[in-house]
Amino acid sequence: MDLSKLKKRPSYPFETIAVAVSFSPRCQPVLAEAKRLSDILGASLLLLHIGEKTAEKEQELDEMMAAVGVNPNHSRVIWMEGDPVDTILKLCKLNIVDLLVIGALEKENLLKFYIGSIARNISRKAKCSVLLLTNPTDEPVKFKKIVVNGVENPKTIHTLNTSLYLAKNLKVKDVVVVTEMDVPAIAMDSTAPEAKIIKKNLTEEVEETLQSVIDKCDVGDVKVTDKIVKGKPGYAISKFARDKKADLLVINSPDTQLNLLDRIFAHDIEYILADLPCNLLIVHSRV
């Protein structure tokens, strides 16, 4: 494998899209969504099945591909046995995959979506961006609103630019960049002048930082608004995305260095992964 093709590779455009094929009831809708994205973005499509290759599975996959319009001449199927997480990650590296598409699961038919242990581990360890689909359909629904996490992090500008790249290609006009602010109890008396001043200064500082990131991005004709939401990181933006009926929530990939901030982020992301508010894109920045 030529690792030079992966090192510092931009987070976009998505030139190769892979989709995990599991032969579950949701497999065909997930494939349909991946096919739609590959068509719009002009990306090659790679189908990955981790498990035994049988004549029955081949026939079933051929039928699914035909049903959603996947052209066998413009796509590739890889069959491989092994540990699902390790094998999918290996195949994504070997094939220079930019985006991996997988399906989420519905929890007790209550329109609450979560990801299983395999998808969760892939989301944490992947060296490419990962798109988790909560409610895929054979006739994909057009995205209308994208929410992006504007956390203060060197990766955020890449995540925002990737979101804008998708918004432009998917004809999404509304992108909201959200920064979570978990304000501690500065004083027991919330009316104290000192507490008000500290909160005001903190809010202004967060707003300036967020706007400076947006100003560095190629917004084009996409309407980008910034929003500060107060609450526990991870939970606050998940609630905001659900309340605003967002079609896609975009966040940074977890950092790999085991320092305090990374452990905090890993904890925060659990709020989102445990109960997905909508489709989730985890952008991997190779920086």
Asked if the domains 1-141 and 142-278 are classified in one and the same CATH topology, the answer is yes
Residues in Cβ contact with 261 at an 8 Å cutoff, skipping those fewer than 6 apart: 255
* Predicted local confidence at residue 3, as pLDDT: 55
Q: 186-193 long-range CB contacts below 8 Å, 24 or more apart?
A: none
All residues at 6 or more sequence positions from 92 whose CB lies less than 8 Å from its CB, including other chains: 18, 100, 126, 127, 128
Q: Is the pTM of this model over 0.75?
A: yes
Cα 160 from Cα 178, distance rounded (Å): 11
User: CA-to-CA distance for 86 and 245, rounded, in angstroms?
Assistant: 34
DSSP assignment of 132-189: EESS--SSPPPP-EEEEE--SSTTHHHHHHHHHHHHHHTT--EEEEEEEE------SS
- Write out the H or E segment, with its range, that includes residue 241: helix 235-243
- Cα–Cα distance measured from residue 182 to residue 235, given in angstroms and rounded to the nearest whole number: 11
Q: Is 150 exposed, middle or buried (0-12, 13-18, 19+ CB in 10 A)?
A: buried
DSSP state at residue 3: G
- 233-273 pLDDT, tens digit per residue, is 888 999 999 999 999 999 998 876 545 444 444 457 777 88
pLDDT digits (tens, 9 = 90+) for 202-218: 788 888 888 888 988 98
Nearest-angstrom CA–CA distance, 50 and 237: 33
167: closest CA among 128, 216, 100, 222? 222
Residues 6+ apart with CB under 8 A from 116: 105
Give the C-alpha separation, 133 to 24, whole Å: 14
Q: Sorting pLDDT into bands at 50, 70 and 90, what band is 113?
A: low
Stated as kind and residue range, the H or E segment containing 63 is helix 55-68
Residue 264 identity (one-letter amino acid):
I
**Overall fold of domain 142-278:** Rossmann fold (3.40.50)
Instruction: Please determine, looking at this structure, whether the domain spanning 1-141 carries the CATH number 3.40.50.10860.
Output: no
pLDDT digits (tens, 9 = 90+) for 134-175: 888 888 778 899 999 998 889 999 999 999 999 999 999 899
Pair 21, 61: CB distance under 8 Å: yes
Q: What is the mean pLDDT of the chain?
A: 85
Candidates 27, 20, 33; CA nearest to 63 is 27
Q: What does the domain layout of the chain look like in residue ranges?
A: 1-141, 142-278
